[in-house]
Amino acid sequence: MKVDIQSRAETLKVIEGYLNEPMGKRSRMVATAYSEFFVTARRDERFREALKKADLVTPDGVSVLAACKFNRETKGRSSLSKIGLGIRVGGQVLRGELGKPVTGVWLFNELTGRAVEHGWRVFLLGGLPGTAQRVAEKLKREYPGIQLEFDEGERSVGSKALENERVIEKINHFKPDILAVAYGPIKQEKWILENRSRIKAKVAIGLGGTFNEYLGDVAAAPEWMERMGLKWLWRVIKEPKRIGRIYRAVVIFPWLVYTESNRS
Q: Which sequence spans correspond to the domains of the chain?
A: 8-59+102-215, 62-100+219-261
| Contacts (Cβ under 8 Å, ≥6 apart) of 95 | 228
Give me the pLDDT at residue 169, please: 96
Q: Whole-angstrom Cα distance, residue 119 to residue 177? A: 9
Q: Whole-angstrom Cα distance, residue 151 to residue 183? A: 11
Buried b (16+ CB within 10 A) or exposed e, 197-212: eebebbbbbbbbbbbb
* DSSP of 154-192: -SSTTS-HHHHHHHHHHHHHH--SEEEEES-TTHHHHHH
Instruction: Using a pLDDT cut of 70, give the percent of the chain over it.
Output: 98
Burial class (CB in 10 A: 0-12, 13-18, 19+), 115: buried
The pLDDT of residue 93 is above 70: yes
The pLDDT of residue 264 is above 70: no
Q: What confidence tens digit (pLDDT) does each residue in 159-209 have?
A: 778 889 999 999 999 999 999 999 999 999 999 999 999 999 999 999 988
How high does pLDDT run on average in the chain?
A: 89
pLDDT confidence band for 150 (50 / 70 / 90): very high
Contact of 11 with 31, CB cutoff 8 Å: no
Q: Is the pTM of this model over 0.85?
A: yes
pLDDT confidence band for 241 (50 / 70 / 90): confident
Q: Whole-angstrom Cα distance, residue 31 to residue 245? A: 18
